[in-house]
Amino acid sequence: MNVCTDQLAMLVAGEGQLYSLSALAIDPRISGMVEEARAFHINSARAEEIYLMKPDLVLAGTYTARASVEMLERLGVPVLRLAPASSLADVPLRLRQIGAALGREARAAELVEAFEAGLARLAAAAPVIRPRAVGYAANGYTSGAHTLPDEMIAAAGFINIASELGIDYGGRMPLERLAMSAPDLVMSSTPYAGASRAEEVPQHPVVRAVTGGGAPVSMVSRDWACGTPLVLRAIEELVAKREALFP
């Protein structure tokens, strides 16, 4: 019932164990496993439809579709709620939680070993001098200390300006503060179709001036969205940006 538990379950589950995924699992803007997800029944996170599937277990997030989750629990359906990852260390933890719930501990251990090996390779190649980067999303939102994006930025060999400025968790960074921080790299996600004032903020002339006249570097947001092993792909993409800017 949650795009992050969807992807974790697809990685860990055995043949025939997984039946249904949330609709976001097939949304390429937020899901990193769209093609794999198309093989499964898609649900709309409504309690009625999920109850009629007669599941042995429902995997959910702590914040998504809470009314549906609470109704399923009242109806006696077993539900495992997983909190969103707030650090790279949470990725192995979530894999082990899913592995234990599905009786797939060995598979989870394989994924954890591969993930930790990937992080170790990145740490071994970290630069001596770290450039400074900032994420700048809709309405000027940025992720600071104690967040998964903060640790991903650091793992890619950058200093996170939001953390440097004392922003804990996340919050809005005014354009003036962004300009005065003099970032080496400004990152943003690809705007959704249509238009909104919030998504115009990262395209503001001030941001273009800070980035040397161009738009912020667009990162693949789906790989940043969840605490799964796919965050390695996002970090490697950011490493490539760093090496291109500072060979």
Please check whether the two domains, 3-119 and 132-245, share a CATH topology.
Answer: yes
Six-digit token string for 97: 């939680």
Tokens of 177: 């503060």
Six-digit token pair at 146? 């104690």
Domain covering 132-245 assigned CATH 3.30.540.10 in the classification: no
Question: Among the CATH numbers 3.40.50.1980, 3.40.50.970, 3.50.50.60, 3.90.950.20, which is that of 3-119?
Answer: 3.40.50.1980
Question: Which is nearest to 132 in space by CA: 199, 210, 200?
Answer: 210
Instruction: Give CA–CA dist 226/136, Å, rounded.
Output: 18
Residues in the chain, overall count: 247
pTM of the model: 0.91
Domain spans of the chain, in order of start: 3-119, 132-245
What pLDDT, in 10s, does the model give residues 113-127? 999 999 999 999 989
Tens digit of each residue's pLDDT (9 = 90 or more) over 68-114: 999 999 999 999 999 999 999 999 999 999 999 999 999 999 999 99
Q: 3-class SS at 159? A: strand
Which residues lie closer than 8 Å to 244 by C-beta, 6 or more apart? none
